[in-house]
Structure 1
């Protein structure tokens, strides 16, 4: 690079390097999506098209960024987990969060017409996403993070299902529906849906209730670790030879991205598919 007397301004640039040997979770959130969803007429309480579009954009992120081990999405948010040994951008926080936010936003906009045909994006209100990076020391915290997001998905979706059912089918105003749900617990909400509207919440589409987990489909287990080991250490890698680890890493990066709608709070997922999120 050519030298100049103006180059001193580079000394003002500051990089935050994320701690080594920690899992990195990059969480994306839609900016102003309450207004955005209203502007483009998203169906209430859930719009399957919008969720499918989120999932499609997230899959493209995983295909373009092989360091991503797994992801979880619900509503207008998506979380991507990077392994402890990830060296992408030398773990510079600004580069990581800006790359994930821009890559996801680009694919969301590019794929929009496929999922919302006949509803073109208006340049005065385009979908954008912000991102943050959070570090976790072990798979225990990563698992608890994903469990937290799925619990949040359930709580929000149950409330929204009740709220919009009261508004759309019950004829209440939004303010009256909010008042009717104030102070209710999950049992009250389930009873309200069933007794007044004949809706069994457990029969609602699982993608609405559980969200979406994305993993790299490794097919039939070919790892030297078995499920009992994986359960014991919650997904920590066993000590392997360097060559064996490199082969396994290449296979993981080439694997197709699988979309699941399952419980990730209990143990079953983490002793089966979830052990690839390492």
Structure 2
């Protein structure tokens, strides 16, 4: 579990996040949503201890995040950043194997680690890229390989602490099929007790997979709670300043969300939508 207690973050005398108190429980997929510049990536960097709060406290499993060592957290917490360049070319399997390094200390990587790598590659549908150089991957392929690396890192349950998975726009550069594959895996991990936190931009993907929603707007908490309570037209209009219409398909357990244009725009004066 990750809990924020009156957390603020200031850079160059400007609040990027201000007075946020929110909880992201284990066993749930929490999706962080908000317009550009709302502070979403800063939020995730603070959760990962890449940055430290200016004030307030972030708790990880009941302990001040600042008191956790990076080495200890690496045994149960994986972070998929928005940007993950590969410093030099290597085979895909070698890159994914890097996810196992925190678990080995002085011991050599063994058959067990190689097995986990192959399982993680299969989970992300990139096993066929096993021997390919990262130099020749598309953006979407590299995204899936990096996801496999993070999965390999937190593949096994930790004996003391629930696992944590932090995902900064994990569906970026993925086609629709792989977007769903990625979030299906995140949802499955949450059902296994992992605390999963993901930044998304697609409201429909959030409605489809999230258990819990955190809304940020202009660096402040604009709402947090169960998906069904948060994905309401009134809240979405307020957070994103757009006209919203939701449709409830009886085949689905979540709303379908349509953005109709900037708030207060006269839709009658706009070109009519065309049928395909």
* TM-score calculated relative to the size of structure 2: 0.27
Larger Rg: 1
* TM-score calculated relative to the size of structure 1: 0.26
